[in-house]
Each structure stands twice: as C-alpha cells, then as structure tokens.
Amino acid sequence: MNINSNDFKDIDPGDRVLMGPGPSNVSARVLQAMSAPCIGHLDPYFLLIMDETQRLLKYLFQTENPFTIPVSGTGSAGMETCFVNLIEPGDEVVVCTNGVFGMRMADIVKRLDGKLIQVDGEWGRAIDPEVVRTAIRGKNPKIIALVHAETSTGVCQPLKDIAHIAHEAGALFLVDMVTSLGGVEGAVDSTEIDVAYSGTQKCISCPPGLSPVTFGPAAINALESRKSPIVSWYLDMSMVRSYWGSERKYHHTAPINMIYALREALRIIAEEGLEARFARHQLNHRALVAGIEAMGLSMFVPEPERLPSLNAVRIPEGVNDIKVRKALLTDFGIEIGGGLGDLQGKIWRVGLMGHSSSRKNVFLFLSAIETILNAEGAKITTGALNEVSALYANT
C-alpha cells in the first residue's frame, strides 16, 4: 500500500468533441460555476441556490409540479428513484422495451417485486400505442413506463397517445427523458406525464452526477398512500422532499458543487429559451442527416421517428467499426458511440446534445467521417458538405 505521489500528474483530459451518447461538452461557464467554493448544505446561500435550481428545473420540464428536484446520482439513479418510490410488491407495471433503457426499467421492476408486463417493441422503431392498449386489456396496471428518447437506438417516442391510454387505465404515466430533456419537446404538464426523470450530461450539458426528476400530483398521491416501506433509504423521496421543501430537514448531504453546475447549465437554457433550443437541436440534426445521406450512408431509424439529439447511422458493409471510431478519437478528438447489444458493429451513435449540438460539430464530424471512410476504401459520395451548407443557408 505504499504510494509515490509523483506517479500522478495534473488532471488534463485534453480537448474532446463529445458527440457520443453522452456526456456532451460542458461549457466553460458551467465548469467555472462548479468550481466555486464548496459550502454547507444548510447554508442560507445554498438554500437560495436550491430554490433557484427548482424554479429552473420546472421551466425545463415545463411543469408546475412543486416536487421537481435533482436526485443525487446519475440518470440511472433517477430511473430507480421513480420506480422504487412508486412500486409496491405485486403492483402491475407495464414497461415498453425497444432498446437498452427500456430493458433496464424492466430489470428494476422485477427487482422491486413488481408484476412486469413487458411490451416488446422492435429496436429502432417507436412503440405502437395499440400494442400497449392490447397488452393491458384485463389488467390493472399502476404504472405505464416508456423511454422518450432511446439512447441505444436513436428513436423518439411519441407520448400523447400512450399518456391517454395510461390515464384511461388509471395508471401513472412514467417517462424516461434522459436524452430528451432540454433538447426535444416534451412538456410534462401538457403531455400529462405523471413522473419523469432525466440526466444532466445529455441535452442539459452539465457534467454527469445528477438526475432531475419531477413527480406530479398523482405520483405524489401514490407515494403518500404507500402501504409498504420504500426499500431504498437514499432514494426515499418522502424524506428527500422534506429537505427540498420548506422544512429543510437534513436527509443526506447534497452534492453542492454539482448543483452549482446544474444551476448554471439551467440558466444558460433559460437564456436561450426552450423553443429556440429545440429548434437548434432540430436544425443540426437535419443538417447531419442531410450530410450522412448525401454521402450515401443511411440512418437506422425511419424519418418520422428520429431523435434529434442522438443520430443512429448504419455502419456501411465491410467497414471496421472500432477502427473508424479510434481514428475519430485519435486524429480528430471526436467521441461517438458504438452500438449496444445486437446493434454492436451495426450502428454508430452520433450525439448532438446541448452544447454539442452546433453547426461547427456537424461540419467537423461529416468532414472527419468522410476522410476516414475514404481512407478505409468505403464507397462514399463526395460533395456532401455542399448539401449541408445549402440546408443551413436556407434556414
């Protein structure tokens, strides 16, 4: 256990262009806010920052839900928070699975002794509301859960029809907004979402470490009328509420500096405005797709179901996935993601999230991938960037 402190150098991650499935690039303003001096979790100044963070989060989720807070863990902690607070053993829970994150939800439901009703969908396609309607016939689900933005496939799930089906069945509508919140329209109140969670490192462009959640009135009611204890102490929202609420009752020490960072990232979002931000994500997505298709490559997800924040591109026949991604990282400093599970080696996942969703990054990625694929001897149509320039010029 001896150690030589000279073996360790200063932290210096270099200059990465983060165009993978998250984290996205974090702006200097957010990094600076995060490095403000740490103070106590009950300091009057920190309580003010908590209030402001909640106000800004409500704006971001487009909700009036008073219980809208950042959970002290990454996105998956937010997922677990929603289920662990709302499921009691034996509760029927519908989970729509058309990618890795739906599967993760199903896994969590089983661990919590929920009666899982799994609605399997094709990976790379949205879930058909009629399949959900059929699946719950004769059942009494407490929750219908799905993923708004499937990070593993690049699918954007339409929400309204399934929200309607959930409420007709008397169920809570629970939505994973990890890769949509702050980049893709998905207003909690007007869409009638009862409970949702997200992560900070995607379209919010704050470092990973927090998970914004919002619980609407029906979810709070389910929480308050539980008969069995919440199995997690750390994620027990009935107690965490007393800290984020007016009582300010100590539960666990909040991750102070991470909340500084989130508060600044949310302020940047408020400055841009949600409408402009969603439009920016759409535009850069359309430009990327235009370039990809002009090059002769194709998208994995059909056009109306594509997510602007995560673009799944089919890897051309005969091209070495790992080699291309390594060249992107080494020669250009660009990180993109590979496929997960069965999609490994079949798709690339190109993120255009938050601060990373920019015209600059679209051009950089397209020119880099064109160069690398040319060097690999792949059949690429040249001149794609002209199409992309034209698209930006006409918008």
x/- binding map, residues 27-46, to its own copies, per CB under 8 A?
A: ----xxxxxxxxxxx-x-xx
Verify binding: residue 143, its own copies, rule CB under 8 A: no
Choose the binding region for its own copies from 57-65, 131-139, 164-172, 289-297 (rule: CB under 8 A): 57-65
- CB 54, CB 68: distance < 8 Å: yes
Shortest Å, Cβ 76 to its own copies: 4
Interactions with its own copies, residue window 257-316 (CB under 8 A): 257-258, 260-261, 263-264, 267, 270-271
Out of 133, 252, 286, 359, the residue judged to bind its own copies by CB under 8 A: 252
Verify binding: residue 14, its own copies, rule CB under 8 A: yes
Choose the binding region for its own copies from 13-21, 138-146, 213-221, 278-286 (rule: CB under 8 A): 13-21
Verify binding: residue 322, its own copies, rule CB under 8 A: no
CA distance 212 to 238: 16
Residues 6+ apart with CB under 8 A from 326: none
Shortest Å, Cβ 35 to its own copies: 4
Out of 50, 96, 103, 112, the residue judged to bind its own copies by CB under 8 A: 112
Give the burial string for 267-292 (b: 16+ CB within 10 Å, else e): bbbeeeebeebbebbbbbbbbbbbbb
In one-letter notation, the amino acid at residue 79 is M
Interactions with its own copies, residue window 209-228 (CB under 8 A): 209
Out of 91, 102, 104, 290, the residue judged to bind its own copies by CB under 8 A: 104
Question: Helices 359-375 & 274-294, crossing angle to 10 degrees?
Answer: 20
Verify binding: residue 382, its own copies, rule CB under 8 A: no
Out of 8, 137, 246, 317, the residue judged to bind its own copies by CB under 8 A: 8
- Say if residue 23 is preceded by a cis peptide, omega within 30 of 0: yes
DSSP 355-387: GG-SHHHHHHHHHHHHHHHHHTT----S-HHHH
The H or E element containing residue 162 is: helix 160-168
Q: Compare residues 22 and 308 and give the one whose CB is closer to its own copies.
A: 22
Shortest Å, Cβ 322 to its own copies: 12
Give the burial string for 121-139 (b: 16+ CB within 10 Å, else e): bebbbbbebeebbebbeee
Q: Compare residues 267 and 286 and give the one whose CB is closer to its own copies.
A: 267
Out of 134, 253, 320, 386, the residue judged to bind its own copies by CB under 8 A: 253
Closest CA to 326 of 289, 369, 277, 276: 369
CA distance 257 to 89: 36
Task: Please work out, in degrees rounded to the nearest 5, the angle formed at the alpha carbon of residue 297 by the alpha carbons of 293 and 301.
Answer: 80
Q: Compare residues 256 and 327 and give the one whose CB is closer to its own copies.
A: 256
Instruction: Give the number of residues in contact with its own copies, rule: CB under 8 A.
Output: 88
Shortest Å, Cβ 175 to its own copies: 17
Shortest Å, Cβ 103 to its own copies: 11
Verify binding: residue 347, its own copies, rule CB under 8 A: no
Interactions with its own copies, residue window 73-92 (CB under 8 A): 73-77, 79-80, 84
Q: Compare residues 298 and 344 and give the one whose CB is closer to its own copies.
A: 344
Verify binding: residue 118, its own copies, rule CB under 8 A: no
DSSP 270-326: HHH-HHHHHHHHHHHHHHHHHHHHHTT--BSS-GGGB-SSEEEEEPPTT--HHHHHH
Shortest Å, Cβ 150 to its own copies: 15
Coil, helix or strand for 97? strand
Q: Compare residues 70 and 291 and give the one whose CB is closer to its own copies.
A: 70
Tokens read off for 209: 């470490």
Tokens read off for 132: 């959900």
